[in-house]
Amino acid sequence: MTTNTKPRNFFGGLARTGLLLGAILGSGAAGADELAIYAGRLFDSESGRMLPSQTIHVVDGRIASVQAGYAKRDRETLVDLRGYTVLPGLMDMHTHLTTEYGPRTYMESFTWNPADYALRGVDTARRTLEAGFTTVRNLGDSDNVTISLRNAINGGTIEGPRIFTAGKAIATTGGHADPTDGYRYDLMAAPWPVDGVINGPISAREAVRQRYKDGADLIKITATGGVLSVARNGDNPQFMPDELEAIVATAKDYGFTVAVHAHGKEGIERAVRAGVDSIEHGTYMDTETMDLMKRHNTWYVPTLMAGEWVTEKARVDGFFPEVVRKKAATIGPLLKKTFAEAYRRGVKIAFGTDSGVSRHGDNAREFALMVAAGMTPADAIRSATWNAADLLKMQDELGSIGEGKWADIIAVAGNPLEDISELQRVKFVMKGGEIFKQPQ
């Protein structure tokens, strides 16, 4: 993924988004690319500690230095957040920006054009950024829409988070993410690797290379059945070991990480042994699976919000097709228990919501669910900052407020170490040195 090397004009961005300059002292274009941010409290995501009274110096969209106390330089424009808690921009490792589930979702594949999904993505990207999420992974869509969305955001034509996108997820015939699941026979046809459907190691390699050709940033595969696809089984393994090995080996050749949708134990363990980077959901993994993940240094992205959401909607008559409702009622309630045990056993955890199942912009509710399941507030925040950057292999650029990194910075009024729900009320958002939201 490429990112712009310099943010758009600081004051131009404020004017374009209709934001006021209430928190900004000073004026003039000369200081527009040099900022001093006063932080009443600053969360150090590397250590998990809260630091009092800090100044963050930003030059050309990157953090030049951080120092204790308040110390504005003459050439700098001041952003005064002394009354706030300042944190690194949040990072959601599992989103679907072109999807937002509702009662008509299953008809959209027949009635919507790629342009419709693209326009939805413009809206959901803006909501996500305004919620304080400055970086996301998008784990599956159609028609390469989020590749174009990423490029438009990087080019500065629309507002949204940094996107690392998998493009089209890779599935097996009839598996979760086969785009023709549930179609009548004359529409079903036989999707090919270009469509994200493989059978055997040769077509697995082809599918990975197609994602590279498309311009994806990573690979997403669906190693087991899923909840929301129109297929009977939600947890059976759907890739053979040789197919998984071919995907991982080819992905490494192209510098891709591999994210794996998986619910069932056997499918998870096959993927972990093949060397994938992250397991998404992980519903039925047990202590043996967790220990295997620890040995292979595999990340876990729990998506508790998705479990909560599908459980709730399974109780609504007619919301899901019956085949989906049964899976949602069974799998959804298990995620929190699995997460609690994985955290207790020391599995590496990165933050992810599966937003697009639930509403975009509500991503921070995941923090409350994680803390309710036993994670400390500091570890929950680190999962969406320091850990997420590690999973992305971007710790030199993102994930903490430190010298040389992109100035992705948010602020909340209270202390999220005392009340994690503060992260659902983000007051200030900066991405790459440009302010997109500030206290009113």
Residues 324/228, Cβ–Cβ less than 8 Å: yes
**Could you say which of 72, 168, 220, 327 is catalytic?**
220
Q: How many Cβ atoms from other residues are within 10 Å of residue 61's Cβ?
A: 22
Nearest partner of 389 among 405, 375, 403, judged by Cα = 405
Among candidates 102, 165, 156, 324, which has minimal Cα distance to 232? 324
Which two structure tokens, joined as six digits, stand for 341? 């045990």
Residues 6 or more apart from 123 whose CB is under 8 A from it?
A: none
Q: Using CA atoms in the order 151, 156, 160, 163, what is the torsion angle rounded to 10 degrees?
A: 30
Q: How far apart are CA 400 and CA 398, in angstroms?
A: 6
Report d(CA 283, CA 265) in Å as an integer: 8
User: Would you call 313 a catalytic residue per the annotation?
Assistant: no
State the burial class of residue 15 (Cβ atoms within 10 Å of its Cβ: 0-12, 13-18, 19+). exposed
Q: What is the DSSP string of 287-354?
A: HHHHHHHHHHT-EEE--HHHHHHHHHHHTSTTTS-HHHHHHHHHHGGGHHHHHHHHHHTT--B-----
Residue from 337, 370, 341, 340 nearest 353 by CA: 370
Can you tell me the distance from the alpha carbon of 164 to that of 184, in angstroms, rounded to the nearest whole number?
A: 34
Per DSSP, the three-state class of 355 is strand
Question: What tokens does 129 get?
Answer: 């950024």
How many CA atoms lie less than 13 Å away from 105 in the CB half-sphere? 18
Q: What does the alpha-carbon distance between residue 101 and residue 306 come to, in Å, rounded to a whole number?
A: 11
Q: Which of 178, 181, 195, 354 is catalytic?
A: 354
Distance, first Cα to last Cα, the chain: 34
- The position carrying tokens 């790629």 is 114
Q: For residue 216, which of 146, 154, 275, 276 has the smallest C-alpha distance?
A: 146
Cα 366 from Cα 209, distance rounded (Å): 34
Q: Are 25 and 4 in contact (CB under 8 A)?
A: no
φ, ψ of residue 6 in degrees (nearest 5): -145, 135
Is 294 tagged catalytic?
no
Q: Which residues are catalytic?
A: 220, 354
